[in-house]
Amino acid sequence: MSYNVRYFGHPVRGVFSTRRGVRRIAQRIARMDPMPDLVCLQEVETRSLRSRRTVQHDAQATQLDSLLQALDDELAAQGKEERFDAFYFAAHDYKLTSATSFYTTGLAVLAKRGLSVLAHNAERPYDITHRPRLVRLKQTRICAHVAFENRLGDRVEIFNTHLSLPSFWTRDFWTQPFRLGFGDNQLREARELASFISRERQTDHYVVVGDFNSLPGSPVDRFLREEHGLADAFQSVHRADEARARDFPTAGFMNLRMHIDHLYASPSVDWVDLDGTHAFGASGDFDGLSDHVPLIARFRVKSGADRGRDR
């Protein structure tokens, strides 16, 4: 499952984070059947003025701590035994003073207990940001990496990311019909992401997920699929061409509807289905909780003579 949660602030249109936003998303995850083994989140804060409403009592608790506590409570209330461990990957910190942050950005990965963690880069997430010389204040973009092994000995690596929007400071942004995924800065970040994956992965089985701010068929999407050899879950499962994929929105802003979130997999991983995934604006379990909807999928890791097990 990959989900941009918008700092858990969608009930107030992202102005600040709320305990209600955390609780409602925790409720929906806890209701899932089957429960996801891996939950990759984008736009998660640590501690800041904007996020402090998500923390009730402990001033040192983070937004991710609040989500885990709410998720534990919801799972217990439903009599479910599953629990999650979580990893936070800090991306950017907008400070008012040396001790006070206005707001922060980051990624998170939740793993169902029972998965063995082989490695992760939570202490030093990889910076993929393209920083033009003319842009001084640029939000840091990162890639989170966690390697897992299940009880059967299957190893899978997760790369979770959130690419920049296309640069507003270029002529192409204002003249071309499509923008999301067409920015040179975005393609540079995608190339940096691919280079990092090639250097760091330890197995052939890996999944690349997140908010790519890129449409199906954009240069970013085509680079990851055609040059890096990744398979997009939506296009693979639904046998959809790029135009049809663009018609399935994963996010919205005012009246705009966009397919900008993606699940990609390496050639040794097959996508099985997208059960539980619904279009942005359509009726579903996660409708109205963020300006994105989660992508929920099962995949099969190829083993031996092209045999697979669902994960």
18-54 pLDDT, tens digit per residue, is 678 889 999 999 999 999 999 999 999 865 444 454 5
Residue 15, pLDDT score:
43
- At 226, the pLDDT band (50, 70, 90 cuts) reads very high
Residue 105, pLDDT score:
86
What is the C-alpha to C-alpha distance for residues 182 and 222, in angstroms, rounded to an integer? 10
pTM of this structure: 0.89
End-to-end CA distance of the chain: 12
Q: pLDDT over 90 for what percent of the chain?
A: 69
With beta carbons less than 8 A apart as the criterion, state whether 213 and 250 touch: no
* Residue listed under structure tokens 């990889």: 126
Joined tokens for residue 56? 């009730």
CB-CB neighbours of 170 under 10 Å:
15
132-184 pLDDT, tens digit per residue, is 765 556 789 999 999 999 888 899 999 999 999 998 656 665 556 668 999 99
- What average pLDDT does the structure give for the chain? 87
Residue 306, pLDDT score:
40
What is the C-alpha to C-alpha distance for residues 287 and 293, in angstroms, rounded to an integer? 7
CATH numbers and ranges of domains, the chain:
2-298 (3.60.10.10)
